[in-house]
Amino acid sequence: MRALKKARKLIENKSGKPAADILSRLVLALESDAPFQLSDLYSLDYDDFNLAMEVMAEWRLDRYYTSKAVLLDLSLQLNLQQQAAASSNTRPS
């Protein structure tokens, strides 16, 4: 199971517990580029701390894939525009 899914389950199942609060704030900070106190991670138990590390690793990887998908979409749109322009230039007037 992916770390993001594990974190979601932990936050759902342990709502109101310190681990859920810390992981929730971590996710919000990652999404919004807001500050996050790394020292809060040290209050987590070993398994939850490792989960937080996995969340950060997956978040970074997913961000790369999102950027890649956006770049691919933009490249495809540009290619289609160029093809449409080329075909309209070759039509007889």
- Residue 82's Cβ-side half-sphere holds a number of Cα atoms within 13 Å equal to 6
| Predicted local distance difference test score (pLDDT) of residue 79 | 81
How many angstroms separate the most distant Cα atoms in the chain? 73
Chain centroid to Cα 47, Å, comes to 22
Q: Is the confidence at residue 75, as pLDDT, over 70?
A: yes
Average pLDDT over residues 42-70: 89
| Predicted local distance difference test score (pLDDT) of residue 1 | 61
What is the pTM assigned to this prediction? 0.73
| Predicted local distance difference test score (pLDDT) of residue 74 | 77
Quick check: 29 and 42 in contact, CB under 8 A?
A: no
CA atoms of 41 and 56, how far apart (whole Å): 12
Average pLDDT over residues 24-28: 93
